[in-house]
Structure 1
């Protein structure tokens, strides 16, 4: 089987230099794209996606998340620490109990919109 042909630009594209300069100047900083990739990496794990979905419904403690996800509390805590380090979730203490919630609506919207996209395939 022959490999697929690779299309090469012969540098004759009309007006592409101006367009490329516009795109290049609008490109996010490398540190920003690195953070975006970290977010998508976090969302690349089904357990974390389920955890984020549960937290999009309401604030929950580790015990509740363990019950919902049918996982040990240690494993849930490990995932929450990972998500907290990325500032995807935040925590609030009430006495001895720690409650977790999403840091803001942006991650919730990404997850919910992806869910809707998959549901309507």
Structure 2
């Protein structure tokens, strides 16, 4: 039961186009909030809120470098999850 609830939370997080764009950008390279904002044309407050949720769900991690936090995908499983979803999308009519 707990696994089903946790998985549902993750799937809900993936239902946001902004969060999917964040994950896709981090798939290419680790980035700060400022760098993500420039790449995705999304405000810093919005990005920070989304990143907080993605960190809570262990989809991204952050490493501090002075005043900046460099965000990256949590592990290879997140990359595989994105690849599988994109692969599925390519097979839809």
Runs of 4+ in 1 over 4 A off after TM superposition: none
The match for 2:19 is: 48
The match for 1:22 is: none
> Which residue of 86, 100, 104 corresponds with 2:71?
100
The match for 2:40 is: 69
RMSD after superposition: 1.1
Partners of 2:56 and 2:31 in 1: CA distance: 18
Deviation at 1:105, TM superposition (A): 1.2
Greater RCO (Cα-Cα under 8 Å, separation 6 or more): 2
Structure 2, unpaired ranges of 5+: none
Structure of higher CA gyration radius? 1
Partners of 2:79 and 2:55 in 1: CA distance: 15
Partners of 2:84 and 2:77 in 1: CA distance: 11
Provide TM-score, normalisation by structure 1: 0.72
Structure 1, unpaired ranges of 5+: 1-29
Partners of 1:55 and 1:70 in 2: CA distance: 15
Say if 2:54 is the partner of 1:57: no
The match for 2:53 is: 82
Partners of 2:26 and 2:74 in 1: CA distance: 10
